[in-house]
Structure 1
């Protein structure tokens, strides 16, 4: 049975035309038992792919196609949890080791040094061996193949054969097969998938033109030669490689080996311990801290003392039931750190003597007396009769959300201090993925189709999706009636529907931060954000939730800066 081990989604950013969920669904419908996702230089869509695959009963294989210093590619698949950790570290090194954050490259020596638990495939037409074969000839390619065999071992390094009806495919694959046989290496078939169905090749062509900032006519040399890079039925691929049955059989064998790692199960994330965890159990430490503070804020004989005591015991019981005592204590540690930061930032100004809080809690967390006693909220939930159930209850399905607002200058320094306290490898900001909206779609696809710039800009400014699709918008815009039947404008309208919701690039979440006791860099790859001194993880809020990360929100509120 053939298994596709080389597949790109829209998270290859302008080099994939389908979402991970679409690829998983199509694979399931075609009868695949497993599928690998191998986006360029990242695991951005891997968690969404794994979650969707789990629902469909499809084995999700986690991998990536990394770009090396010489611009060649190598395909890596995580066979074991150790292999996944190494994959994350290699991707992180490719991103953080470069001056240009938009051009990740990995030194091959780094892969040679850190490949345990990984299956290494020689890559696409621009892969390791084809690049050497094309540049330096068969003898050099043989020497390089022998080097790979010696470093990775014949059980971990495989020569990748791809056939997409491109001129020269058969000659290249036969040359690679002969090379593999001569040095006793296994071969593996793949189809270098870039979209879930053939019809998406038009969108992929447009995305490649956008990536190279040119038109479709100007991008012939960098676009795929045909529309054959879709997810084929397994029996079609088996027929394509009828003369190389080992290449097909090895795909199933490698997929079976990759069952040792499941992204939805084997991440090993744990939240860091609070300060003093080695001295006192978390439930007792939290109870002692809160009861001491209650004595200060609700003195004997005060109006709300008995209600506060009852509420505190209720909350402590719920918190211990959900094993969240350490979570609240780490938040307390972070707020103490915020006090230090605020004192430093305000030093020498009148604000230093105004007894101002470093920040303020908001949202449902202000209904918690534990948050109030820990200083995470300045609102007395007892005096204000606030309802607890929205924040904390018996059936809580996920970690409660505590949002903290800070003046901008305090937040900026606080983020730096968090990196310093927990270590660069243990902290990362949550990313986000801006998606294609109508205006950016019209501008970028319109340019790729070489439509008149003035008219494209006019449509982009006036269209607002009030009536549905772009075709409906055009019909209502003065001067554009009937354009939807013209070939290029019709193409624009159709591509606009297909591209809607696809990720455009990676960005930074407004305030979410993940802290891990185990190095975060072994759980999810990290890369530089556009802002200086910022490092983001490659998963957005939804993927972090699926990974059961505890996300801490440090939000900058401009109004607090103005108040100060």
Structure 2
């Protein structure tokens, strides 16, 4: 019967999927069995063909986005191809390009007919780890143990002598099957020690990627609530996920001191036309200095009565000054105050730390009959509130830029908009937004700008950067010579770029020739940097 190999992986995406399914059931009353969804849904595959895959397990990286628009999967087998293709072991021999071109009709043939059984389904390209074993067994007659030892040998360090021995064995045994030495060498060169997925792994991940795409397409609100609550995970920060949510007509709301809970939730909101719609309400844990204990204190304090003012919230929660101020800057008190600057001023006037550096840090004890809490005598004396009206100043309201800066500072998130909304008016009209760049032709020069959300620098190769603006993403490629010239600038969070449009096989990139830093905010969302 053989052995069954099972991988148990701690994947945040599976927790997200579980959360999303639970949210859907709570909201609609219907339980969704993902094993019974339509796996040939054109709408889902169309979403994948457009590379609308931010937040989608296994297919959200820049490399996957550019590959999936070329492979254009239409079934689960294609999904396995897609997942497997973007792996170092496949790319090492230019396997991705070969597979895609052959899939699109480019003529090809096996190096030897003995490869057919192992490689016919993947058009002569080794996509899966298992195929190394299969080729060795079919072409050279290795038994299963010898084939696996060969595959493992490629991954060992200082393996030249060992590989030379395997090559001689492969050459000789392939020769016994009528394979010329030059053809045997050509086949042997397809093997490498870089990482590849086993076929079963690729299919399992391909199905999961399809499930996540299906959920994002049909239940975007629940999808984004789920992924917000599973951070940090994946390729993108919350700001990028929020922008993607907005593009999928999901409204993201600032936390509310009287409604929010620890995590993000679905909440009803009344629009300007008095109609009600549901939105993603940011949770307290997304605000800096607010941990589980502070979030629980807020929820417990308002259990029987909502907060009526900043002063009321300070008194009943016992939070320290920094968490309260961060909540103000995050917009959590907007429903209770006219302006955040005045609210911060009020916090400063009302905050009186006790000896241990906290204010109201101890939870009030309940009276014997369970009614009003009993406050210790010392705390009663220190918590005596004096009038502050005479000390309140007539302060200018925060500007939109200052409100945005405060939200980035406290949440690394700006629910209302995007940094580039405020930067764009200061730029030349010649600096194009991301949604205009796809209309340019190959070789054209372009200026663009945006927030860096991703950097990837493979050793000794080009640097890949993704810019984000208020309309979408722009992929950049920085060749080593240009990177050496602008290395320090390219570390900055917001960039102004000049480059040349490169259109190749259905993909578009900007080849950077010049880079400048746009000095904007001290606290911008950080990029995800990869090797």
What TM-score results when the alignment is normalised by the length of structure 1? 0.22
Structure whose alpha-carbon radius of gyration is higher:
2
